Amino acid sequence: MKPVNQMSRQEFVDAFGGIYEHSSWIAQQSWDNGLSASANTAHGLQSIMARVVMAASPAAQLQLLCAHPDLAGKLAVSGKLTEESTSEQASAGLDKCTQEEFDELQALNQRYKSTFGFPYILAVKGRKVPEIIENFRTRVDNDTETEFREALEQVNQIALLRLEGLWGQ
């Protein structure tokens, strides 16, 4: 891969525009802010992109959160997730849930979204369904401010995992 800080804006957005789910504006703003040599590592680039996320308006942050799919939700069942989300959910076994697990995830998704106004987000790589459900059960009772911050942290963690995948880490 060409060094990130030597890419044109279009090359950069083409390469990293999908790191944050359906939110290429983060890659665009990251490039527009200027990229140093620190952008040439997964951790360095994620740090740059995470700063864009955290500096965004609450409305833009909410839009970013809402761009994420439900875990084991309708998009997963219908095969309409992004390639990255499909792979991440499958790695956690969410595509092989028991009916009982699936039903609980559906109920938790509905309760969570009606409570917070955005989907439950968790970096699921390296986790298994029981751990995900337990995390979900705990977080659904958080207050909105706490959960909004946690969801943004999870989005940034997902971005890091995706970047590490691109770097082969």
Distance from first CA to last CA of the chain, Å, rounded? 14
Query: Domains of the chain: which residue ranges?
Result: 4-57, 63-155
d(CA 40, CA 150): 27
Cβ atoms of residues 150 and 139 within 8 Å:
yes
pLDDT in tens, the chain (169 residues): 789 999 999 999 999 999 998 899 999 999 999 999 999 999 999 999 999 999 999 999 999 999 988 776 544 444 554 677 667 777 778 778 888 998 999 999 999 999 999 999 999 988 999 999 999 999 999 999 999 999 999 999 999 999 999 998 6
List active site positions. 68
Fold adopted by 63-155: UraD-like (1.10.3330)
Tokens describing residue 100 = 């009982």
pLDDT of 73 reads 53
- Provide the pLDDT for residue 87: 73
Q: How far apart are CA 34 and CA 107, in angstroms?
A: 43
pLDDT at 86: 65
- Could you tell me the maximum CA-CA distance found in the chain, to the nearest angstrom? 50
> In Å, what is the CA distance from 39 to each residue of 17, 22, 69, 99?
14, 21, 28, 43
**Burial letters for 83-121: b for 16+ Cβ neighbours within 10 Å, e otherwise?**
eebbebbeebbbeebeeebbebbbebbeebeeebebbbb
What confidence score (pLDDT) does residue 82 get?
63
